[in-house]
Amino acid sequence: MNNQNPEVTREGITERLVCKADDPATVEEIVHAGFNADSHSGGLAFVSDRRLSIFAYGGSLDYSVDPGNRDDRVAAIEGFWRRQQYKNRPLALADVSDYHRAAIAALEADAAGIDELPAQDRYGVTDIALGNYVYVLLRRRAAEPTADSALRALAADDSLLNLGENDRPPYPCHPCPVCGRLAIGRVWQYLSVCEDCYDKSICENGRPVAGYNESWLGTGFKAVHLDDRSTCEQTTREGRVWIDGIECAIGEAKFGGVYIGVEDTPASSPYGE
């Protein structure tokens, strides 16, 4: 997961940048021996056109305006390197809060919610809504449903790691309107489906579809068939998809992104409206 950049090699990146650059002659590697040799948190850095691109072997990347001189380029690479080292630091169960430990136990048990865990596995959790919120986010971020994977995801994400007792979850969790697992969020009158269901949408003709934002600003909405990347006119026009036979609304979310949800009825609303 989050591996946007599976092949971070000198040849692969050079080829990609040469292909994309307005002026291919400007593509140049910025060598930093320590950063290049660190297979854990290091990577490769290049300039092309007037941009400095830094790629971590682990998959993250960073673009900025090329400062144009060796010292400032090295400073940018070292700043990136330190952030990667921080995100890759080892984290143990003892380093995280009761809420995170309970969320990890739920992840490993594939529990429907924190409240399903035996009492000793949710020790210290007094706010079940917050515990469930941490659990849903962790399920989204962890590559595998294991403690190791969850701790790696937490190390890389301070905002999730620092969620604690004094925070109110920004959204209460609700049962996914399709499968009943925990889900987060509501867009207009639609309760969002869970992460698992989100990836299972099909159009009127039974073809798998995904929505995306038309502009690079994250606005507009279009749906494509996943089999041949052709536009699905029906979904784009009508904003309807089906997940496990249940009709769902799909469209542009309020602040960009794409929501998929089912209309919230007052009787089922966890939002108290």
Footprint of Zn ion (CB under 5 A): 176, 178-179, 194, 197, 203, 205, 207, 232
Place of tokens 């529990």: 111
Pick 179 or 249: Cβ nearer Zn ion: 179
Of 129 and 179, nearer to Zn ion (C-beta) is: 179
For Zn ion, the closer CB: 111 or 203: 203
- Kindly state the smallest distance separating residue 113's Cβ from Zn ion, in Å: 13
CB of 238 vs Zn ion, minimal distance in Å = 10
For residues 58 and 86, the answer to whether their CB atoms sit within 8 Å is no
Query: How far, in Å, are 4, 24, 99 from residue 11 at the CA level?
Result: 17, 14, 44
User: Closest CB to Zn ion among 138 and 203?
Assistant: 203
Q: Are 66 and 58 in contact (CB under 8 A)?
A: no
CB of 193 to Zn ion, least distance (A): 5
Smallest gap from Cβ 222 to Zn ion, in A, equals 12
Q: What is the smallest separation between the CB atom of 195 and Zn ion, expressed in angstroms? A: 8
Does residue 52 contact residue 73 with C-beta atoms inside 8 Å? yes
What three-state secondary structure class fits 12?
helix
CA distance 37 to 60: 17
Residue 223 neighbours by CB distance under 10 Å: 25
Strands 190-192 and 186-187, sheet pairing: antiparallel
H/E stretch holding 7: none
Nearer CB in complex with Zn ion: 205/268:
205
171 and 133 Cβ atoms separated by less than 8 Å:
yes
Pick 56 or 184: Cβ nearer Zn ion:
184
Q: Minimum distance between the CB of residue 269 and Zn ion, rounded to whole angstroms?
A: 17
CA distances from 266 to 24, 172, 189, 191, 232 (A): 58, 15, 10, 11, 32
